[in-house]
């Protein structure tokens, strides 16, 4: 059997550039919060996040992951509309920027502080290794962050810990100005344990399904001979992840009703701007 060695989460070469862009986004969003939501700082923060998305495209295409490159392409009109709305001090886009600022502040320490980064990764791989073993499999640890079985090696990186989704959902909840202390506590207890547990299940299922080649006989759109990894990770896991985050957002809206108003206003703002652009575009 040929050796199959993949990272079951997004591995981005040139992580220093990614960290630098995240740090720039953090600085801009921190200034946005400190300076009472300075709109130019928010625009700079969104621009840094967009550049970070674009910096990841080559690595993601190499892994045949098309969801995130598509998101990078959509970030161009998103940035244009966001900047235009921020210059007009649109309240919905200002709250969205506050959400992004809080999420970035939560996420950054796990990116730049080695102790936090390694501690979180160690926790995830230790628990995942234990669960996989308890299910009758026999993985072997090749390194502190790499386990293998059936010639499949899986390195757990920060993207595999669920911290990105946790930071995003906490940003949505804590970005609401009218949030009460009780709502904040309940949102934290809903988001953090649930997302951590579901991400752990995701890592375990991905490892077992790829190492056992559950989908190896499926059509291979990549032409690499590794259809199993493509369908399990790039399609099923990514698609189910998005659906779950939408469901969790709905739960947060039920828990914090003003978030529903924010969501409707936000959709209206971007829809109106997009329709206005389309109407103004000359027809040849």
Summarize the confidence of residues 110-116 as an average pLDDT.
90
Let me know: does 97 contact 89? Beta carbons within 8 Å: no
What's residue 59's pLDDT? 64
pLDDT band at 235; cut points 50, 70, 90:
confident
What's residue 225's pLDDT? 62
Residue 6 in this model has a pLDDT that exceeds 50: no
Q: What is the DSSP string of the chain?
A: ---EE--SS---S-HHHHHHHHHHHHHHHHHHHHTTS-HHHHHHHHHHHHHHHHHHHHHHHHTT--HHHHHHHHHHHHHHHHHHHHHTT-HHHHHHHHHHHHHHHHHHHHHH-HHHHHHHHHHHHHHHHHHHHHTT---EEEETTEEEETTEEEE--GGGTTHHHHHHHHHHHHT-TT--HHHHHHHHHHHHHHHHHHHHHHHHHHHHHHHTTTTTTS--TTSSS-HHHIIIIIIIIHHHHHHHHHHHHHHHHHHSTHHHHHHHHHHHHHHHHHHHHHHHSPP-
Give the position of tokens 């103004």: 280
pLDDT tens digits, one per residue of 236-271: 877 888 899 999 999 999 999 999 999 999 999 999
What's the CA gap between 250 and 243, in Å, rounded? 11
Strand partners, 4: 152
The model's pTM: 0.84
Supply 83's token pair: 């900047």
pLDDT tens digits, one per residue of 68-87: 667 777 888 888 999 999 99
What is the torsional sign of CA 70, 73, 77, 83?
positive
What's the CA gap between 232 and 209, in Å, rounded? 7
pLDDT tens digits, one per residue of 163-214: 999 999 999 999 999 999 999 999 999 999 999 999 999 999 888 888 887 8
At CA 135, angle to CA 131 and CA 138, rounded to 5? 85
Residue 15 in this model has a pLDDT that exceeds 80: no
Residue 101 in this model has a pLDDT that exceeds 50: yes
What's the CA gap between 204 and 207, in Å, rounded? 5
Strand partners, 141: 147
% of the chain at pLDDT higher than 90: 49
Nearest Cα to Cα of residue 120 among 156, 85, 78 = 156
Residue 5 in this model has a pLDDT that exceeds 60: no
Supply 193's token pair: 């344990």
Contacts 24+ apart (CB under 8 A), 225-228: 226/4, 226/6
pLDDT tens digits, one per residue of 26-54: 899 999 988 876 889 999 999 998 888 78
Domain boundaries, the chain: 13-112, 114-269
What's the CA gap between 219 and 212, in Å, rounded? 17
Return mean pLDDT, the chain. 84
What's residue 38's pLDDT? 82
């Amino acid at each position: 059997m040929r050796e199959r060695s993949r990272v079951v989460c997004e591995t981005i070469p040139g992580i220093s550039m990614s960290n630098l862009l995240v740090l720039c986004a953090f600085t801009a969003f921190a200034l946005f919060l400190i300076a009472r939501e300075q709109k130019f700082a928010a625009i700079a923060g969104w621009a840094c996040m967009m550049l970070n998305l674009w910096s990841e495209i080559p690595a993601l295409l190499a892994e045949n992951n098309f969801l995130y490159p598509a998101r990078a392409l959509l970030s161009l009109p998103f940035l244009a509309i966001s900047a235009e709305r921020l210059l007009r001090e649109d309240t919905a886009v200002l709250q969205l920027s506050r959400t992004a600022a809080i999420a970035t502040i939560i996420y950054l320490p796990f990116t730049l502080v080695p102790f936090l980064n390694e501690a979180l990764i160690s926790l995830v791989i230790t628990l995942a290794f234990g669960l996989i073993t308890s299910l009758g499999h026999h993985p072997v640890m090749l390194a502190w962050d790499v386990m293998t079985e059936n010639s499949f090696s899986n390195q757990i990186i920060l993207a595999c810990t669920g911290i990105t989704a946790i930071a995003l959902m906490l940003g949505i909840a804590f970005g609401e100005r009218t949030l009460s202390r009780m709502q904040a506590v309940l949102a934290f207890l809903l988001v953090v344990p649930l997302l951590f547990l579901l991400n752990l299940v995701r890592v375990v299922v991905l490892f077992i399904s790829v190492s056992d080649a559950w989908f190896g006989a499926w059509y291979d759109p990549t032409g690499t001979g590794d259809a199993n990894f493509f369908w399990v990770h790039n399609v099923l896991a990514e698609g189910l992840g998005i659906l779950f985050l939408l469901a969790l957002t709905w739960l947060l809206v039920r828990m914090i009703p003003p978030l529903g108003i924010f969501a409707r206003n936000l959709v209206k703002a971007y829809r109106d701007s997009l329709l206005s652009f389309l109407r103004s575009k000359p027809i040849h």
